[in-house]
Amino acid sequence: MTTAAPLTLPRPPHARLPFPYRPEAQALAGCRERLGRGFDWSAVVQRARPWVQAVREHPAPFWAMESLLKEYPISSAEGLALMRLAEALLRVPDVETAIALTADQLGRADFDAHDGSQGLLARLSATAIAMSKSFLPEAGASEPGLMQRLGARTVVAATLRAIQLLGRQFVLGRTIDEAMGEADSQRRAQPRLRFSYDMLGEGARTEHDAERYLAAYAGAIRAIAASASGRSALQDGPTGADGISIKLSALFSRYEELQRERVEAELLPRVWQLVALAAEANLNLTIDAEEVDRLELSLDVFEALARRIAAQYPRWAGFGLAVQAYQTRALGVVDEVARIARTLNLRFMVRLVKGAYWDGEVKRAQELGLVGYPVYTRKAHTDVSYLACAKALLEARDVLYPQFATHNAGTIGAIDQLARGLGALPDTHFEMQRLHGMGDGVYREVLKDGIGALRVYAPVGEHRDLLAYLVRRLLENGANSSFVHQLADPRVMPEELLASPLALAHAGEQAEGLTLPAQLYGVARRNSVGVDISCLAQRAPLEAAVALAQVPAVPLADAAAVDAAMARLQTGFEGWNARPLAERAAVLERAADALEGRLPEFCGLLVTEARKTLGDCVAEVREAVDFCRYYAQQARTRLAEQELPGPTGERNTLRLHGRGVFVCISPWNFPLAIFAGQVVAALVAGNSVAAKPAEQTPGVARRMVELLHEAGVPTDALVLLHGPGETVGAALVADARTAGVCFTGSTAVARHINRALAAKDGPIVPLIAETGGLNAMLVDSTALPEQVVDAVVQSAFRSAGQRCSALRLLCVHESIADGLLEMLAGAMRELRVGDPARLDTDVGPLIDAEAHAAIAAQVQRLRGQARLIAETPAPQALPDTQTPVAFELQHIGQLTSEIFGPVLHVVRWGGAPEDVVQQVNALGYGLTFGLQTRIDSRAERLAHLARIGNVYVNRNTIGAVVGVQPFGGEGLSGTGPKAGGPHYLYRFCAEQTLTVNTAAAGGNAALLAGGH
């Protein structure tokens, strides 16, 4: 054996693929060109039509599920209920909650309304469900009667059983041995069948998870190697034998582009262990394809491993990866893999799939405001891409062994045609693949026609681990666009089922009804453009800007400066307020465009001055852009003059205008977004503004003020006044010319301002205060622990916990608390604390030494009073840094004050969740609240009960989006109205009704002219 080649990722990272967000039409044109003209789809139809007919005449076993889904498509309430139950019921540990969940889901679905014209089993299931519903309590009722409880237990047991059966359709065995036994028995009927085993589960969140998966994969490879299939692999090679599919996200909790160093140091050696095992046994090991943002990284990992394979196992041809055709870069991936093979003189196996996470990719692109979608948006486009990739793979068969994974008879027919055209032989040059439990009927027919060898992707796992996978399969079987769904529907004619994707995809345009992220809010308001930091081309300008960032110096204002500014602003108010509304709104829109164009520069400033991580900076600049556009749009519609109804002979008009000089006092934790949001709201309403930024972050504020001036805000309508709250802030609040105050910060300072305003003579002016919170999240036993941990880590520790929306109190149901807290502790250990300018930093330092000293003292106190759950390790003591830490309290009442840092409190709860919400209400704050439950009626009920401004269900509790989640609380958390919401601007306005007696001058001419 040669000396091991180093396992290193390409350095520095380079973009090896086209830009992920280029226009869809452009990517599609590349596919068409590659496919060439003259592809005869009618021949495909001729080939595939008999398969379709035969399957419809003789459906394969398990048709039950498909027909159930046809009766109740995933898009219907009933289908959704089935999916929701399938996703959650098996993991619920306590009967009462299981009953509540079942009642909730079955209760909202209407299984009895169907006439059941199709499918006996579907009809029977529906009848059974409809009948059993009568044994369930009303959805949401907490205390069902005894009879109902007895009946409900039976219904739940039956539902559980049904879901287990549904799951078994898609899982070959609970253990690798059981699965291999099942594989052997299937092989008795079809001797040439091969399997690729997959160990089911969620992605790793902790080191412990990763070790568990590593052991499971290694055990599986050893088991396959020891089997007859493994022995045949040693002789005949990986194509003829069973193999394994692995997910890199299962082997490392931080398998992310921004964690490249750790991926290299921790993930690579781990995967190598598996690769070496598979190579020794001469088996196929395929790396599954996961989310788009991991694509480049996965290729880097693949190449790093391939280099070592070239050195150590140069004759092994079993290493492979999956390529998703729905990605607009798919063709580039195929070419890249072929290039690597040629460079290293290796052969790879490449599984071509269409892709399993389409819905998730579309959502992510919309949330991040990306310039386009990284996936095709029309099914036909994905199909065309699949064909182009298939052709490219077959053409590279000297170095690649294509594995075509599809259940679509049309796609299979097209592969057959491509292969014939290129002289590629089934089995020798390529194989087909299907998922266990899917495509049985189609392949039964296809194999009769001699189209090659078939490998079955065979998930292995216990019930609990299969849930996420099961849901994917239900979605695939239930989606209208999916081939298997249409195949099960006899109303879909074969012509439609086998329609040519080439004909359907002629223009290459994006799908109708699926707006680009930029157009999410319609024509009236453009969404802010975001950045995909996982994409090198997109993050490079940000990194450059951080390196160059220079925070401008801002002179301190003194009492004289405040006085002069107020005088100036009072004069400036008249002119600005007199400007037409449309003009003021246009100024905001110009500012938004300018800010968007300078996103990297502002990110650089934020990282440097406010110590924020890059991801947080991008989100913050976007928020500021959104504020400008949103308030401009709101002003146009809501602040326009309104004619009011009244008696004839009179005209009544309501109009709004600025109040005067507004004082805006903003915090350091969102030195751009909150600062800009307050200022532009006040401005667009017609006020002039004295803007006082936080003492720690005047530089960002100064740049924003300059930008607003350049966009057209007169210099006497907006003045920046930097200085301490106690002097500058206090002077501004006390000034007689102040017509209103908009403040975001601590509850204590808000009270102070309130008192100062109340003590003044003269007009009583409005105070808009947004203050802190003791934000809680309630988790019941239906929640998915992995999702909860993700949400908790983001909510509690992002921005070092220095958000007013940050999670402070996690309330976990006692039945799942031990496991969940262990996972949380493991996930916390994986966070990276450090310099915010580094891309791999999750948690940066606190804003300054003073904040650090205060938080450190509070944490010290907690160490004596509460049980430490976990603490993120830090390699060395870092200045001003509090590492994320979590403590368990005995009860909610122990929490009395907000710790404005990465410090989480946890309590366990039992009994009624309503009581928990009441206790949270009793804390007096009301800013954000998280609910993690699959019981929809419970979420609805608890949200109503919560006296809290922003309630989030099954997600994190931070990052409210302007105009989407208007932000602000009640009680001790603020006065409202919510920032970024439709009621905000009114508070900055004075109102006037103008009543004109139009009949005064002699009579009511209009009425008389009407001729009644």
Ligand X SMILES: Cc1cc2nc3c(=O)[nH]c(=O)nc-3n(C[C@H](O)[C@H](O)[C@H](O)COP(=O)(O)OP(=O)(O)OC[C@H]3O[C@@H](n4cnc5c(N)ncnc54)[C@H](O)[C@@H]3O)c2cc1C
Which CB, 411 or 937, lies closer to ligand X? 411
CA distance linking residue 883 with residue 872, whole number of Å: 6
By the criterion CB under 6 A, which residues form the site for ligand X?
A: 288-289, 322, 324, 326, 351, 353-358, 376-379, 381-382, 405-408, 411, 433-435, 457, 476, 481-483, 511
User: How many other C-beta atoms are found inside a 10 Å radius of the C-beta of residue 368?
Assistant: 20
Which CB, 357 or 986, lies closer to ligand X? 357
Instruction: Return left, alpha or beta for 976; rule: phi > 0 is left, psi -120 to 50 is alpha, else beta.
Output: left
The nearest distance, CB 510 to ligand X, in angstroms, is 10
CA distance linking residue 285 with residue 321, whole number of Å: 8
The nearest distance, CB 392 to ligand X, in angstroms, is 17
The nearest distance, CB 496 to ligand X, in angstroms, is 13
The nearest distance, CB 435 to ligand X, in angstroms, is 4
The nearest distance, CB 407 to ligand X, in angstroms, is 4
Instruction: Return left, alpha or beta for 409; rule: phi > 0 is left, psi -120 to 50 is alpha, else beta.
Output: alpha
CA distance linking residue 373 with residue 594, whole number of Å: 24
CB contact set of 472 (below 8 Å; sequence gap of 6+): 356
Which CB, 169 or 570, lies closer to ligand X? 169
CA distance linking residue 413 with residue 386, whole number of Å: 13
Closest CA to 816 of 69, 303, 88: 88
CB contact set of 640 (below 8 Å; sequence gap of 6+): 581
The nearest distance, CB 535 to ligand X, in angstroms, is 19
Which one is catalytic: 804, 811, 830, 989? 804
Handedness of CA 479, 485, 486, 488 (dihedral sign): negative
The nearest distance, CB 371 to ligand X, in angstroms, is 18
The nearest distance, CB 170 to ligand X, in angstroms, is 11
The nearest distance, CB 713 to ligand X, in angstroms, is 44
CB contact set of 85 (below 8 Å; sequence gap of 6+): 101, 102, 105, 106, 159, 163
Which CB, 70 or 813, lies closer to ligand X? 70
SS3 851: helix
Phi/psi of residue 391, nearest 5 degrees: -65, -45
Which CB, 288 or 936, lies closer to ligand X? 288
Which CB, 440 or 786, lies closer to ligand X? 440
CA distance linking residue 939 with residue 917, whole number of Å: 11
The nearest distance, CB 424 to ligand X, in angstroms, is 19
DSSP conformation class of 683: H
Closest CA to 398 of 452, 451, 334, 338: 338
The nearest distance, CB 356 to ligand X, in angstroms, is 3
CA distance linking residue 453 with residue 403, whole number of Å: 10
The nearest distance, CB 303 to ligand X, in angstroms, is 18
Which one is catalytic: 24, 291, 431, 770? 770
End-to-end CA distance of the chain: 105
CA distance linking residue 722 with residue 725, whole number of Å: 9
CA distance linking residue 589 with residue 708, whole number of Å: 10
Which CB, 501 or 968, lies closer to ligand X? 501
* Helices first, then strands: H and E counts in the chain: 38, 25
Structure-block tokens of residue 225: 């190697």
Would you tell me the crossing angle of helices 146-170 and 95-108 to the nearest 10 degrees?
80
Structure-block tokens of residue 344: 């290293």
Rounded alpha-carbon distances, angstroms, from residue 770 to 203, 656, 672, 742, 964: 38, 24, 16, 8, 18
Which CB, 256 or 431, lies closer to ligand X? 431
Phi/psi of residue 313, nearest 5 degrees: -130, 60
CA dihedral 329, 331, 334, 335 (to 10 degrees): -100
Rounded alpha-carbon distances, angstroms, from residue 423 to 48, 122, 460, 495, 952: 20, 45, 36, 28, 57
Handedness of CA 920, 923, 924, 929 (dihedral sign): negative
Which CB, 407 or 813, lies closer to ligand X? 407
804 carries an active-site annotation? yes
Residue pointed to by tokens 């469900």: 129
Exposure string for 88-125, b = 16+ CB within 10 A, e = fewer: bbbbbebebbbbbbbbbbbbebbbeebeeeebeebbeb
Which CB, 442 or 789, lies closer to ligand X? 442
CA distance linking residue 275 with residue 392, whole number of Å: 26
Closest CA to 210 of 267, 160, 158: 267
603 carries an active-site annotation? no
Closest CA to 988 of 770, 772, 765, 771: 765
Which CB, 143 or 512, lies closer to ligand X? 512
Which CB, 501 or 740, lies closer to ligand X? 501
Which CB, 435 or 791, lies closer to ligand X? 435
Cβ-closest position to ligand X: 354
The nearest distance, CB 478 to ligand X, in angstroms, is 11
User: How many other C-beta atoms are found inside a 10 Å radius of the C-beta of residue 235?
Assistant: 9
CA distance linking residue 420 with residue 260, whole number of Å: 42
Active-site positions? 770, 804
